[in-house]
Amino acid sequence: MSSTAAVAAHGARAERSSPGFWRTYIFSEDHKMIGKQFLFMALVMMAIGGLMAMLMRWELAFPETQVPGFHWVPEPFMYDGAIPPNTYNAMFTMHATIMIFFVVIPILVGCFGNFLIPLMIGAREMAFPKLNMLSFWVGAVAGLILLSSFFATGGSAAAGWTSYAPLSAVAIYTGVDWGQNLWCISIIVLGVSSLMGSINYITTIVNMRTEGMNFFRLPLVIWSLFITAILSLLALPMLMTVLALLLFDRMGGTHFFLPAGGGEPLLWQHLFWFSGHPEVYVMILPAMGIVSDIIATFSRKPIFGYRTMAYAMIAIAALSWTEWGQHMFQSGMNPALAGGFMITTMFVAVPATLVTFNWLGTLYKGSIHYTAAMLNALAFVAMFVIGGMSGIWMASAPVNMYLHDTYFVVAHIHYVLFGGSLFGIFAGLTYWYPKMFGRMMNETMGKIHFWITFVSFNCTFFPMHILGMAGHMRRIYNPQQYDFLKPIIPINEFISISSFVLGAAQLLFLANIVWSCFKGARASENPWHANTLEWTTPSPPPHGNWPGTVPIVYRGPYEYSSPEVAEDFLPQSLLIKHSAAAAD
Amino acid sequence: MLEYLYLPHDISTFGPQVDWLFELIFWPVAAVWIAVMVAMVFFMIRYRARPGRKAEYIEGNPRLEIIWTTATAVILVILALMSRSTWADIKEHGPPGEAFYLVNAKQFNWEFTYPGPDGKFGEKGEITIENEMHVPVNKVVRIDLTSRDVIHSFFIPNMRLKQDVVPGHTIHVWFEATETGQYEIACSELCGFGHSGMKASLTVQSQEDYDKWLKDLYAHPPAPPASSSPATPATPPQGASPQ
């Protein structure tokens, strides 16, 4: 083992990379710092997107009244605190755009992907550190472009995050001019950022695994990030192309989506969902990986069916390319196509069920420790079951005919994206926080945050199923304009009040992040007694990730409570005589 | 208000099929959900960490995994196939039409065109009114949907009927109302700042009442909608002929 050479090389590297404030915190090439940069960018965006959600909920419960405390907002955004329809449309458009593209994806892929991949596969850095830095900064520019669109004449994009043409393609239809252009440009630029990240992740995972770390010794979170990176690499170029076509229609006089010039509005939906549906899975797969790792660690048991978990995630990713028509059952495309799309859509529930049962199997005969991270991971499982199964109704085209574009859909996406992805994010941040910041996150505050969030989340989003069953359309500004929705006004009010509690509870999480960063208990190398490689180095890890040599891997990531050792965990890098003999 | 916590009252012939599928999906979903939650909570209590007890080293059980994967696949494919025939009845083919209408959507109104006294479109005598639809009860209604600007969606909650209206396309839908009364038609696809409130009233009447109303309409035709342009096709649309 050329350990001395490695230490010397690393020493030289560490010396080179202590270059002062700017290169350490701003233009950093260290994957750990870039991961944190993505995290902080996403947290700022989450506050903005969350605030918009609160304003929308106010409007839906108390339509066309003044929002308390918002009298200062200038016209035409608000009129003495009252929200006009244009602003409402802009808010749900931007809420979704921000939460999807600038919160969930940057945290799951940007933050966890960057921070965890080298540490968990035993690499000192990403394959392309400069590209990695560029990826973050291009992403930050995309965020600034999106935020700047609020100040464009006519306001920001207001055609929904799906921006169906022709509504999105002609300025007079929404009254939004540059706002929609900037929306397109922002997501195209963000796509460039994500592509750079994807190439980096794939290259790093394929080429830079440490000795002994073969593919079936990778933790499932790395599997999920690997699959996600491949999905993004394949889906994003197409998404960017579609957005460019929309931009040409808006600014270049083309008619790709405009029937007046021979274009086809449904082309937008086909192209958008063909690339957009895999993007939906980009938002859930890494959370599934995170939760798998956390459930195994705190059940002190191997994940149930490790290989099938990896195969199931691959199956979900592969099926995601066959399902786009499920969004278009009522769109006017040939109804005969619905038959095939119903089958493919139903089929994705098969691997999803498999992973869910495997999580339950992991709990079985475990020794479950209820940390804040574990509570959030378990909530993920329970909420993902609801979110996944509510999809079955919408996968049935005749039932979809009634439920499509109602609050049933809103409930479904929030059960998957909030109940799923966001609880996964809470779990992952709490779990890896000590490795990121060198201090433990406050458990009590974490548990209080969890319980308030869990209860208010369900009070907010579960009743939306009932709204959807009553026929409540999504994206309407004032439900009280409809006689058939008048009886459910109290449900809308209940949802809104719950959502205010839900929003306020997130301040607790932010406070915990900030407070623990300065006042949290110092974290040891391996506070959770976990097996994977990131726990074999100090918290936080130094430049180059391991002060000495990079660990060598002897076994899979989930050897908890192995009969081979007395402790209930067995790190991947620990050489025990018995297994060394077996390896020979 | 408990009756409002479920699907609204159904007044179409195919609505019961849709509601039946809704309930058909409900039962296996509810059963699986309860089973999963009971198992999860039981495991969470039974296998909580206690001093002196170590977790059992279980790596998986391929046979169990195959069983629950296959069971899910079978149930879901059956659900998809059962949905298939209902879908075909509603959206792919349907009974021959008995009353015909053209509906044109535009930001933010619905235009309903009634055939002339000779029962034909494209001739003199057809009448277009905004946001008001009258149909006879127990008659198969066939509608040709068009849009003048953006995508709208023609949604009658009490019929379970929803169909996007796409500019550049003529899309056919049908329904048969089983009860008289006053209902609402809503736009359910975002179509701009006036999307909320883009609605029309639907009056289902007995044939006699309907004929009387139509006669009155022919006798006193309202002024054409302000921004009206010839949106109706010159030739009788295909969907308006019995199949």
CA-CA distance, B154 to B106, in Å (whole number)?
12
A151-186, pLDDT tens digit by residue? Answer: 998 899 999 999 999 999 999 999 999 999 999 999
Exposure string over A17-52, b if 16+ CB within 10 A, otherwise e: beeeeeeeeeebbbbbbbbbbbbebbbebbebbbeb
Residue A366 to residue B59, Cβ atoms within 8 A: no
Collapsing DSSP to helix, strand or coil, B134 comes out as strand
All residues of chain A having their beta carbon less than 8 Å from the beta carbon of residue B146 are: none
Q: Select from A476, A548, A560 the least CA-distant residue to A219.
A: A560
| pLDDT for res B222 | 82
B46-59, pLDDT tens digit by residue? Answer: 999 999 889 999 99
Collapsing DSSP to helix, strand or coil, A28 comes out as coil
Residue A382 to residue B73, Cβ atoms within 8 A: no
Chain centroid offset of residue A507 CA: 19
**pLDDT beyond 50 at B243:** no
All residues of chain B having their beta carbon less than 8 Å from the beta carbon of residue A366 are: 43, 47, 55-56
Residue B55 to residue A365, Cβ atoms within 8 A: yes
CA-CA distance, A372 to B164, in Å (whole number)?
45
Confidence of residue B88 (pLDDT cuts 50, 70, 90): very high
| pLDDT for res A226 | 98
Residue A301 to residue B56, Cβ atoms within 8 A: yes
Q: Select from A117, A156, A154, A157 the least CA-distant residue to A35.
A: A117
Cβ(A581)–Cβ(A329) under 8 Å?
no
Give CA separation, B32 vs A83, A358, A385, B26, B37, in Å: 42, 15, 9, 10, 8
Read off the amino acid at residue A268.
Answer: W
Average pLDDT over residues B205-233: 77
Please tell me if residue B61 touches chain A, with a CB cutoff of 8 Å.
Answer: yes
Average pLDDT over residues A462-470: 96
Query: In the β-sheet with B140-147, what is the strand arrangement from edge to edge?
Result: B127-130, B109-114, B99-106, B140-147, B171-176
| pLDDT for res A23 | 83
Residue B77 to residue A346, Cβ atoms within 8 A: yes
Residue B160 to residue A401, Cβ atoms within 8 A: yes
User: What is the least distance, in Å, from the CA of B194 to any CA of chain A?
Assistant: 7
Residue A335 to residue B91, Cβ atoms within 8 A: yes
**pLDDT beyond 90 at A93:** yes
| pLDDT for res B226 | 58
CA-CA distance, A168 to A157, in Å (whole number)?
8
Instruction: Please identify among residues 109-138 of chain B the ones whose CB lies closer than 8 Å to any CB of chain A.
Output: none
| pLDDT for res A579 | 52
Q: Choosing among A350, A394, A454, A495, which should be mutated to test the B contact, i.e. which has the most B CBs within 10 A?
A: A350
CA-CA distance, A431 to A120, in Å (whole number)?
14
Please tell me if residue B93 touches chain A, with a CB cutoff of 8 Å.
Answer: no
The answer for A81, left when phi > 0, alpha when psi is -120 to 50, beta otherwise, is: left
Q: Select from B131, B134, B130, B154 the least CA-distant residue to B144.
A: B154
User: What is the least distance, in Å, from the CA of A167 to any CA of chain B?
Assistant: 5
Q: Select from A380, A513, A432 the least CA-distant residue to A219.
A: A432
| pLDDT for res B154 | 97
Nearest to A335 among B22, B92, B194 (CB): B92
A200-235, pLDDT tens digit by residue? Answer: 999 999 999 999 999 999 999 999 999 999 999 999
Average pLDDT over residues A94-117: 97
Confidence of residue A26 (pLDDT cuts 50, 70, 90): confident
Nearest to B164 among A167, A331, A342 (CB): A331
Instruction: Please identify among residues 314-343 of chain A the ones whose CB lies closer than 8 Å to any CB of chain B.
Output: 330-332, 335-336, 338-339, 342-343
Nearest to A306 among B7, B59, B150 (CB): B59
SS3 for A359-390, per residue? HHHHHCCCCECCCHHHHHHHHHHHHHHHHHHH
Q: Can you tell me the ipTM of this complex? A: 0.91
| pLDDT for res B118 | 84
Residue A401 to residue B53, Cβ atoms within 8 A: no
A373-382, pLDDT tens digit by residue? Answer: 999 999 999 9
| pLDDT for res B4 | 72
CA-CA distance, A539 to A256, in Å (whole number)?
53
User: How high is the mean pLDDT of chain A?
Assistant: 93
Residue A401 to residue B18, Cβ atoms within 8 A: yes
Crossing angle of helices A265-282 and A306-319, in 10° steps, is 170
Give the pair of three-digit tokens for residue A521. Answer: 């208990």
CA-CA distance, A532 to A106, in Å (whole number)?
23
- Bridge partner residues of B59 (DSSP): none
Nearest to A396 among B83, B162, B187 (CB): B83
Percentage of chain A with pLDDT > 90?
91
Nearest CA in chain B to A388: B29
All residues of chain A having their beta carbon less than 8 Å from the beta carbon of residue B186 are: 471, 473, 482
Angle at alpha carbon of residue A342, lines to A337 and A344, rounded to 5°: 100
**pLDDT beyond 90 at A14:** no
CA-CA distance, A464 to A390, in Å (whole number)?
12
Query: In the β-sheet with B181-187, what is the strand arrangement from edge to edge?
Result: B132-136, B199-205, B181-187, B152-156, B161-165
Please tell me if residue A266 touches chain B, with a CB cutoff of 8 Å.
Answer: yes
All residues of chain B having their beta carbon less than 8 Å from the beta carbon of residue A301 are: 55-58
Confidence of residue A402 (pLDDT cuts 50, 70, 90): very high
A36-47, pLDDT tens digit by residue? Answer: 999 999 999 999
Instruction: Please identify among residues 1-30 of chain B the ones whose CB lies closer than 8 Å to any CB of chain A.
Output: 1, 4-8, 17-18, 21-22, 25, 29
| pLDDT for res A401 | 96
DSSP-assigned letters across all residues of A230-283: HHHHHHHHHHHHHHHHHHHHHHT---SS-GGGT--HHHHHHHHHHHHHHHHHHT
Those residues whose C-beta lies under 8 Å from the C-beta of residue A319, and which sit 6 or more positions away, are A344, A347, A348, A351
Confidence of residue B181 (pLDDT cuts 50, 70, 90): very high
Lowest model confidence (mean pLDDT) among A8-17, A30-39, A168-177, B36-45: A8-17
| pLDDT for res A18 | 62
φ and ψ at residue B199, rounded to 5 degrees? -145, 165
CA-CA distance, A408 to A284, in Å (whole number)?
19
φ and ψ at residue A147, rounded to 5 degrees? -65, -35
Average pLDDT over residues A299-305: 96
User: What is the least distance, in Å, from the CA of B32 to any CA of chain A?
Assistant: 9
Average pLDDT over residues A326-350: 93
- Measured in residues, chain B has a length of 243
Nearest to B56 among A166, A347, A365 (CB): A365
Residue B8 to residue A470, Cβ atoms within 8 A: yes
If one counts every other C-beta atom within 10 angstroms of the C-beta of residue A80, the result is: 11
CA-CA distance, A89 to A87, in Å (whole number)?
5
